[in-house]
Amino acid sequence: MNQHTKLPARQFTLVIKIGTSVLTTGTQALNRAHMVELSRQCAQLKSSGHRVVLVSSGAIAAGREHLKFPHLNNSMANKQLLAAVGQSQLIHTWETLFGLYDIKIGQMLLTRADLKDRERFLNARDTVHALLAHNIIPIINENDAVATSEIKVGDNDNLSALAAILCGADKLLMLTDQQGLYSCDPNTNPDAQLIKRVNDIDDDLMKIATGSNSTLGTGGMTTKLQAANIATRAGIEVFITSGLSSNAILDSLNSDANCTTISASDNALENRKKWILAGPTASGELTIDDGALTAITQNGSSLLAKGITRVSGTFNRGEVVRIKSLQGTLIARGLISYSSDDLTKIIGHHSNEIHDILGYDYGSEALHRDDLVIF
């Protein structure tokens, strides 16, 4: 896939965790040229309507670089000193690079304590959502300068999983210095195979991951799998891939990408569907024709604008609507992708006409099948 390849039409929220080994490309200093390449891909995702959140490591490495590699012992206070100096360098670098694409960023420094306490969690969540709503890229790191070990998450792999839950992300991409998870250590065994798809993180897989490690940064494959376990249980799809190659971010979203993809848990989807069923009162109602009725009830398809014959009620994108047949029978409930105003203009039309009619689109489905509960 190159930078002109069309991205999936359905908009998503993507958290990208960038490890120190990727930011420095294995050297002792931030590799700004490589960071431009990463920023460029984030800008491209944003211009396609996707929401992007970064979890960026590299504060300690940037601190060392800025202070010209001082000889400091490994005490906690010295690490905090390096993080305090380096975090401002790191964020300034991101600000400059995203500025090339006219994108603003917002810094969020978190600790486990911020994510454990319900009220602090909700406050942090409101901040992330407000940043995203204003088209700003949140850049998250652990608050290393003040966090003591008791309140730290400790590694940015686990932090990225918690951040993905905080953001309500659809996908979490962990960029590291390896192509993904291998069947055995590729450095010592030439027969090592890249594991491209993981459906279940079990003990055997954890055993495979043990031992693989990168020298820079905190997390190895074990912490990546721990983090993936948290994220996938929450319904978030996880990708682990090398962030060293050009176009790595965009390539990883390709269906036959050369990376490890870990499926989101089915039960999470069930919970989401339970919530759609039991959750908020429906704000509107759609009537659908017989073709759409067969498509959604028998073929497991999404609902397209073409099959909707009537829209009643006033609702925004993301709200719950009821779906009825032409005979008035209640068929399903779901989270609608278009507002009632938009739908009124596009019903009866082909999905490929949506963009011309509205001047924008939120994907080809009026209601995606993952957001649909059939009675």
Residues within the interface to ligand GLU (CB under 6 A) = 19-20, 57-60, 141-142, 144, 155-156, 217-219
- Smallest gap from Cβ 101 to ligand GLU, in A, equals 23
Phi and psi dihedrals of 178, rounded to 5? -125, 155
Which alpha helices (DSSP H) does 32-182 contain, by range?
Answer: 32-47, 59-66, 76-99, 112-116, 118-133, 156-167
Shortest gap between Cβ of 142 and ligand GLU (angstroms)?
A: 4
Q: Residue 339: how many CB atoms within 10 A of its CB?
A: 17
Q: Do 51 and 58 form a contact (C-beta atoms < 8 A)?
A: no
A 10 A CB-CB count for 39 gives: 23
Cβ proximity to ligand GLU: between 144 and 237 the closer is: 144
Structure tokens at 22: 């990727």
Q: Which is nearer to ligand GLU, 141 or 340 (CB)?
A: 141
Min CB(192)–ligand GLU separation in Å: 24
Quote the least distance from Cβ 207 to ligand GLU, whole Å. 22
Residue 261 three-state SS: strand
Tell me how far, at minimum, the Cβ of 25 lies from ligand GLU, in Å: 15
Q: Report which secondary-structure segment, H or E, holds 260.
A: strand 260-262
State the DSSP H helix or E strand holding residue 174, giving kind and residue range, or none if neither.
strand 171-176
Q: Which is nearer to ligand GLU, 17 or 306 (CB)?
A: 17
Distance CA 129, CA 133 (A): 6
Q: Which of 83, 91, 93, 92 is nearest to 63 (CA)?
A: 83
Shortest reach from residue 202's CB to ligand GLU, in Å: 24
CB 107 → ligand GLU: shortest distance, Å? Answer: 12
Residue nearer to ligand GLU on the CB measure, 156 or 337: 156
CB of 30 to ligand GLU, least distance (A): 11
Between 231 and 321, name the residue whose CB sits nearer to ligand GLU. 231
Nearer to ligand GLU, 153 or 303 (CB): 153
Q: How far is the CB of 34 from ligand GLU (least distance, A)?
A: 16
DSSP assignment of 203-246 equals: HHHHHHHTT---SSSS--HHHHHHHHHHHHHTT-EEEEEESSST
Closest to 217 (Cα-Cα) out of 38, 30, 16: 30
Q: Cα dihedral sign for 39, 121, 263, 57?
A: positive
The nearer residue to ligand GLU, 39 or 337, going by C-beta atoms, is 39
**Closer CB to ligand GLU, 142 or 170, in the complex:** 142
Burial class (CB in 10 A: 0-12, 13-18, 19+), 317: middle
Nearest to residue 80, comparing CAs of 148, 141, 23?
A: 148
Q: Which is nearer to ligand GLU, 180 or 220 (CB)?
A: 220
